[in-house]
Amino acid sequence: MSRYMAILARRAIRWNLILTQQSLPDGGTMKRFVRKGVPAQYRGKVWMMTSGANFLKSRQPNLYQDLVGDISHQSWDEIIQNDLNRTYPDNIYFVPSSDGKLNSLYNILRASARHNTSVGYCQGLNYVAGLLLIATKDEEQSFWLLTVLIRNILPSYYSSNMQGLITDIAVLGELVRLKSSKLDRLLKDLNLPWPILVTKWFICLFAEVLPVETVLRVWDCMFNEGSKIIFRVALTLIKMNEKELLRCTDFGDMAELFKQITRSSSVLDCHQFIEAMFKLPGSLSSSKIDSLRVRFRQVNVR
């Protein structure tokens, strides 16, 4: 841990230099910096810039305040309220108290439901918004980052029919068939569908699945490179544990092992996990993912 803290200290100095420049580095340079980790104190600012959230905010600079100030009642409000105490219940940040952050989380989710009317509120968004708030410590930044996720990075993940989520889980299944054919055949023999195994991974973007620092490093990359990062994480978890997975002979054992691999020692060292994330899955282009999405979206629509 002390070695990792020293690495973070050096990176903080470099990031401070980057952020004092008039413009961000070119795409390749920025990608290298982001993949090595964004220091905690700069995450909100960097995510806002790399994700396009700053641009959205610039078009409607007063929107968040207006949405929070909307006192009209909507059907989502009670559902959001009920989910608050289930969000990171062991995290001191969200302990019910006068100076806690549950009210801030409520404001973010309520504003999002009013702004993203085609989605409203979907269970799972509370974990995503909660971790955004922990990372940025800023309500408005969390709202705009959540909006970018819902509208741009993960369209239709949280819609009523969850078409985007269903499609992407099917895409992961095809990628596993291409990259781990033995595991694909075993899962088919066990009649174990991918949605049972990975829906929580996708809908929570690995929040409440992987260790927090590992998730934040994943999100550093996701806000800069897009949703293909989610596939890289999923494939890395599978590749890292492929031998153990292939030894399963039972539906229940396989489902349980998919839970255990997100808590294994291999995910605790976020630096090593991120390095593996860009090596183990091999080539994984956005164009390949997009073509698979078109293919499986058409299948699901039929």
pLDDT of residue 98: 64
Looking at residue 249, its pLDDT comes to 93
Distance CA 71, CA 132 (A): 24
- Residue 169, token pair as written in the block: 């889980």
According to DSSP, residue 24 is labeled: P
Cα angle 9, 14, 18 (rounded to 5 degrees) comes to: 140
State how far the alpha carbon of 219 is from the alpha carbons of 51, 97, 102, in Å.
10, 28, 22
Q: What is the Cα Rg of the chain in Å?
A: 20
Cβ neighbours of residue 214 closer than 8 Å, sequence gap 6 or more:
206, 267, 268, 270, 273, 274
Q: What is the pLDDT of residue 28?
A: 84
The pLDDT, as a whole number, for residue 300 is 62
pLDDT along the chain (302 residues), means of 10: 73 87 80 93 95 96 96 91 90 78 95 94 95 97 98 92 95 97 96 96 96 97 97 98 96 95 93 96 94 86 55
Output the pLDDT for position 119: 93
